[in-house]
């Protein structure tokens, strides 16, 4: 990329950014102005991508972790030739525009992940680099490399302050992710002022301790950046952090280098002064340098040819490796769905007793044996979560084809890394921890739902029946909190049979699923609905119907471990009780009225039981007074004693049944 073209692109990024933010009367101009030269270099020379085919499997991934600087990305996508017009730029931050305030995955061509919550994009990029390593080990042969690309990131001071980046960086260094390159926009400015107010650590020393390459350059020394990049790519055993000393709001006479440049429009006067300083007519709005247009027209043709060359290599590889090609179709082109029917789940009979976490482990192994794209692991709890895949090896720097990832005690980064793995394509990741620690990973789980990333959350030890570990480890509000995330499918299976089906439901889902699983053993019970597996997918089904004809006196709706509790309580109550297992309240409530009324007849009182907060259940029972739940923290002691002390027993539920 020649100097004149680079300067033209950087100039255009600055003008488009200032005018778009000013038109919107909101936005963050400082980062795009400060990193404009790097953006020109990335999209003009470094990235291997094709704007005419944004989903090309072997493209380099670029993640703007500092997502508040979204106009940086939008400007470059527009200039590079993605389907993002100048009118789209002019509609920045407007309703229904393709240029929302922060980049959104699936909304704007060329945006690889939703960023904005600082540090999460960084961790997503680690997941993308993990996915590249896994898929390269699976598909590349001595004669053909069909998976061979880099993941690039721009992270700011705020990203590196967030704990999630520390978690993700530590794991990335341990795994030796040599195709991950992070540019650190080190401008020493945060919203409150200089970063010296709160951030004075030696970042370079920290990353060396993580096992990263640490390189540096002035952000405006293009040859220095090129040299750093070349050095980074020569080392295939370590991720690279390239520290760029930059100036926020670069080019602005009155705001460059100050906190004022970060998050507010410059105003007409300062924009005019900045345009004059960079050689643009102040009267020009949304100016694009013609040399930038000319350059990217040529560059677009070059990149299209690069993909064409890869496709020739791919066809040669496919011909030579039909088995691998079939697996490619399964993993990267959605063919795994055709394999779901081949999964042989473990069989159980009424009276068998085991914890749903154990049943989950058995189901996971059955699913993994058939679906080659299922990968994942636990936050150092695999023996308790039952999530190891011993038949498929561990993913390490020496064994990248392994399918079990050891995330360490890093719940938040684990979930965000899984998001990146899912978004990369080719993989269906799962992650696992105790239910109570879903609080630690919730911000990433929320983004799973926002992006419809198909991540399965295996959350065990789901209630006070954790017992002796006490209230710090006994979830109370957590299942309900997960239900409040739009698009998160929360499944709380009631026995081993339901648990196996829950895993299939998770694999069928285009989006995230949370499995709430027990520590304690639960009995497998008979099911009155002969088509219960189909009904389960609609959220609920009939477990037990009272003898005789006509309507029941009471319907008891329960989830998870409380279904067997409800069966005991129904017998103790002496009333004609129908028992319904509701694996997913949200799915049930989304069904048509006929289905819902068939299970919960009009005029028949409904009681609910769940070992958690009662909020949310009034939509089923009509009143929280008809819910056996727990609106207080637990106690430390053996599980049965804790339940008795807290009044959470079959006898208590029977009394509630008799009272309605």
Query: Running DSSP on this structure, what letter comes out for residue 624?
Result: G
Helix (H) or strand (E) run with residue 421 in it: helix 411-424
Residue 598's CB is within 10 A of a number of other CB atoms, namely 12
pLDDT (tens digit, 9 = 90+) per residue, 445-471?
A: 999 999 999 999 999 999 999 999 999
The average pLDDT across 502-508 equals 98
Specify whether the CB–CB gap between 564 and 539 falls below 8 A. no
What integer pLDDT is reported at residue 549 of this predicted model?
Answer: 86
What integer pLDDT is reported at residue 424 of this predicted model?
Answer: 98
Show the domains of the chain with their CATH numbers. 3-304 (3.40.50.970), 337-523 (3.40.50.970), 539-659 (3.40.50.920)
Give CA–CA dist 295/280, Å, rounded: 19
Q: Grade residue 267 by pLDDT with cuts at 50, 70 and 90.
A: very high
pLDDT (tens digit, 9 = 90+) per residue, 545-575?
A: 999 888 999 999 999 999 999 999 999 999 9
Percent of residues, the chain, with pLDDT higher than 90: 99
Give CA–CA dist 103/110, Å, rounded: 10
What integer pLDDT is reported at residue 574 of this predicted model?
Answer: 96
Which residues are part of a known binding site for Mg(2+)? Answer: 157, 187, 189
- pTM, to two decimals: 0.98
Q: Grade residue 427 by pLDDT with cuts at 50, 70 and 90.
A: very high
The average pLDDT across 610-618 equals 97
Residue 305's CB is within 10 A of a number of other CB atoms, namely 11
CA 552 to mean position of chain CA atoms: 44
What integer pLDDT is reported at residue 449 of this predicted model?
Answer: 98
pLDDT (tens digit, 9 = 90+) per residue, 105-140?
A: 999 999 999 999 999 999 999 999 999 999 999 999
Give CA–CA dist 210/214, Å, rounded: 10
Give CA–CA dist 227/216, Å, rounded: 10
Give CA–CA dist 632/471, Å, rounded: 10
The whole-chain average pLDDT of the chain stands at 98
Burial (CB < 10 A; 0-12, 13-18, 19+), residue 204, is middle
pLDDT (tens digit, 9 = 90+) per residue, 186-225?
A: 999 999 999 999 999 999 999 999 999 999 999 999 999 9
Catalytic residues: 411
Helices (H) and strands (E) in the chain, counts: 26, 20
Which residues are part of a known binding site for thiamine diphosphate? Answer: 68, 116-118, 158, 187, 262, 437
Query: What is the sign of the dihedral through the CA atoms of 9, 10, 16 and 17?
Result: positive
Instruction: Write b or e for each residue in 564-594: b if 16 or more Cβ atoms lie within 10 A of its Cβ, otherwise e.
Output: bbbbebbebbebbbbbbbbbbbbbbeebeee
Which residues are part of a known binding site? Answer: 28, 68, 116-118, 157-158, 187, 189, 262, 357, 384, 437, 461, 469, 473, 519
What integer pLDDT is reported at residue 656 of this predicted model?
Answer: 98
Residues ≥6 apart with Cβ < 8 Å to 487: 449, 450, 452, 511, 512
């Amino acid at each position: 990329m020649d100097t004149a073209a680079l300067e033209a692109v950087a100039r255009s990024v600055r003008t488009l950014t200032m005018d778009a933010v000013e038109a919107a009367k909101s936005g963050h101009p400082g980062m795009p102005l400060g990193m404009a030269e790097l953006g020109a270099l990335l999209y003009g020379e470094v990235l291997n991508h094709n704007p005419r085919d944004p989903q090309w499997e072997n493209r380099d991934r670029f993640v703007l972790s500092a997502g508040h600087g979204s106009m940086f990305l939008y400007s470059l996508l527009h200039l590079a030739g993605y389907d993002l017009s100048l009118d789209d730029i002019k509609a920045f931050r407007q309703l229904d525009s393709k240029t929302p305030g922060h980049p959104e995955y699936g909304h704007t061509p060329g945006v690889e992940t939703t960023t904005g919550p600082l540090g999460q994009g960084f961790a997503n990029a680690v997941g993308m680099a993990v996915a590249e390593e896994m898929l390269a080990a699976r598909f590349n042969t001595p004669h053909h490399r069909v998976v061979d690309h880099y993941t690039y990131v721009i992270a700011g001071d705020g990203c590196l302050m967030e704990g999630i980046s520390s978690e993700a960086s530590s794991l990335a260094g341990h795994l030796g992710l040599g195709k991950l390159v992070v540019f650190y926009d080190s401008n020493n400015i945060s919203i409150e002022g200089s970063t010296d107010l709160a951030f004075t650590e030696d970042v370079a020393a920290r990353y060396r301790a993580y096992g990263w390459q640490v390189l540096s350059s002035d952000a405006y020394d293009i040859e220095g950046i090129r040299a750093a990049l070349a050095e980074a790519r020569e080392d295939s055993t370590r991720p690279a952090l390239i520290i760029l000393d930059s100036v926020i709001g670069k080019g602005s006479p009155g705001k460059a280098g100050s906190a004022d440049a970060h998050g507010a429009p410059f105003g007409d006067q300062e924009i005019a002064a900045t345009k004059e300083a960079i050689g643009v007519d102040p009267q020009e709005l949304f100016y694009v340098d013609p040399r930038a247009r000319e350059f990217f027209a040529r560059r677009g043709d070059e990149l299209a040819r690069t993909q064409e060359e890869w496709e020739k290599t791919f066809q040669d590889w496919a011909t030579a490796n039909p088995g691998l090609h079939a697996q490619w179709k399964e993993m990267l082109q959605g063919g795994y769905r055709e394999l779901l029917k081949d999964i042989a789940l473990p069989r159980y009979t009424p009276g068998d007793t085991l914890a749903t976490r154990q049943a989950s482990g058995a189901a996971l192994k059955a699913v993994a044996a058939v679906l080659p794209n299922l990968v994942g692991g636990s936050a150092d709890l695999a023996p308790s979560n039952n999530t190891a895949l011993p038949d498929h090896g561990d993913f390490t720097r020496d064994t990248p084809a392994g399918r079990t990832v050891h995330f360490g005690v890093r719940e938040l980064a684990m979930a965000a890394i899984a998001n990146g793995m899912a978004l990369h394509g080719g993989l269906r990741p799962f992650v696992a921890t105790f239910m109570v620690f879903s609080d630690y990973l919730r911000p990433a789980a929320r983004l799973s739902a926002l992006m419809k990333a198909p991540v399965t959350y295996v959350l065990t030890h789901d209630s006070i029946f954790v017992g002796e570990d006490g209230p710090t480890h006994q979830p109370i509000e957590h299942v309900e909190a997960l239900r409040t995330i739009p698009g998160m499918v929360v499944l709380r299976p009631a026995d081993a049979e339901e648990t196996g089906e829950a895993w299939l439901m998770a694999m069928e889902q285009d989006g995230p699923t949370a499995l709430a699983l027990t520590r304690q053993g639960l009995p497998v019970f008979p099911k009155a609905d002969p088509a219960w597996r189909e009904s389960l997918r609609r959220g609920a089904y009939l477990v037990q119907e009272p003898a005789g004809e006509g309507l029941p006196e009471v319907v008891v709706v329960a989830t998870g471990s409380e279904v067997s509790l409800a069966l005991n309580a129904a017998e103790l109550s002496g009333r004609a009780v129908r028992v319904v297992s509701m694996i997913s309240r949200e799915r049930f409530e989304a069904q048509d009225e006929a289905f819902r009324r068939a299970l919960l007849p009009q005029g028949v009182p409904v009681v609910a039981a769940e070992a958690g907060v009662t909020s949310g259940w009034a939509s089923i029972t009509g009143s929280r007074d008809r819910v056996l739940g727990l609106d207080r923290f637990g106690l430390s002691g053996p599980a049965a004693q804790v339940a008795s002390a807290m009044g959470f027993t079959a006898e208590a539920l029977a009394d509630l049944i008799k009272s309605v």
